[in-house]
Amino acid sequence: EYYVLGTGTPQENRCLSDLNAGEENKVSFVYCNFNKFLKNNPETVLSWIGILRKVPNSILCLLENPPSGIAHLRKYIKDVTSLTGHNDGKEINSRIHFLPWEANPFDHQMRNQDFCNVVLDSHPYNGHTTAQDALYGGVPIITRSDGEDMASRVTTSANKVLGLEELNTNSSSHLIDVAVKIGTDQKFFQTIRNHLIGTCLQQNPMHEYWDVQRYVKDFERGLKMSWERYVSGENPDHVFVTNDESKFISATSGSTKDEL
C-alpha cells in the first residue's frame, strides 16, 4: 500500500511509518506537531512523552524540519527517559514518526487532515501558519495559555474565537491531561472536531474567525481609532473593535466613546 494525498484516516496513514502494519500494531490516536524543531523546548518534548505513556497505541507525527535534527531529538528522548528512571526511551521513540517536507503549501495543508487527529502546540513559541493550516483542515489544537507574549498566545486567541477554550491549558501537566482525555474519550474528541469543522463550513454569516474581509475591515478601523487618539493628544490605551461598530473602551475608566 502507499499514501495518496487526501485519502485515509490518521490511524490508517500512521505518519507513513508502516502502511502495511497488521491489526496487532493498530494505532489508536495520532498527535501531531508540524513546527520547526527549534520551537520545541525540553518541557514541550517531556509533555509529548507523558502523553504517549498515558494513551496506549498512540503515536506522535512530526515534520522533518530539519532532517538533521531527528537524531538529536531521538537521543534526547533516550537520555531523558533514562535519567528519570523510566528507561522506556526505545519504546517512546518507536512511536514517534516523521513526515518529509512538502514544498507545496496547499498539499501540506491537506496533509493535516490525513495524518492528524489533534495537534499539540509548541510552547512558548506557538505555531502560526502551521496552526491555521491545521484548524482549517478540521484538526483541533491543544495549547498552553500561560505565556506572556504574543508568540505564545496565538493559538489561545484562535481557540477562544472558535469556541474551543477547553483546549487552552495553563501548564504542562494541564496540557497532558487534556491531550489524554481527547485521545481516550472518543465522544469528547468528536464533539470538539465537529464544532471546529462547523465553524469552517458556516455561512450567512461566515464565522468571524474565517471571515478575512471582515478582519481586514475591523483592523483598518482599529488603526484609524489609534491614529485619531494620537493626533488628538490622548494617552495610549486599549482599543476594541466591536462586532457592530468600532468603539474605544478605556481600560482605566471603563468609559466608551463612539468612533469619530
Q: Per-residue pLDDT tens for 60-86?
A: 999 999 999 999 999 999 999 999 999
Q: What does the mean pLDDT of the chain come to?
A: 91
Q: How confident is the model at residue 242 (pLDDT cuts 50, 70, 90)?
A: confident
Mean pLDDT, range 1-8, rounded to an integer: 87
* Integer CA distances (angstroms), 204 to 201, 207, 219, in order: 10, 8, 21
What SS3 class is residue 246?
A: strand
Residues 49-58 have pLDDT tens digits of 999 999 999 9
* pTM of the predicted model as reported, rounded to 2 decimal places: 0.88
Residue 231 neighbours by CB under 8 Å, 6+ apart: none
Mean pLDDT, range 177-205, rounded to an integer: 97
Q: How confident is the model at residue 18 (pLDDT cuts 50, 70, 90)?
A: confident
Q: How confident is the model at residue 117 (pLDDT cuts 50, 70, 90)?
A: very high
Mean pLDDT, range 168-179, rounded to an integer: 98
Give Rg (Cα) of the chain. Answer: 21
Q: Is the pLDDT of residue 25 over 80?
A: no
Strands (E) across 145-239 are located at 168-169
- Determine the number of helices (DSSP H) and then strands (DSSP E) in the chain: 10, 9
Q: How confident is the model at residue 130 (pLDDT cuts 50, 70, 90)?
A: very high
What SS3 class is residue 36?
A: coil
Dig out the grid coordinates for 179 from the structure.
491531550
Strands (E) across 8-48 are located at 29-33
Amino acid at 215: Y
pLDDT above 70 as % of the chain? 90
Q: Is the pLDDT of residue 101 over 70?
A: yes
pLDDT above 90 as % of the chain? 82
Q: How far is it, in rounded angstroms, from Cα 16 to Cα 11? A: 10
Of residues 244 and 9, the one with the higher pLDDT is 9
Q: Is the pLDDT of residue 245 over 80?
A: no
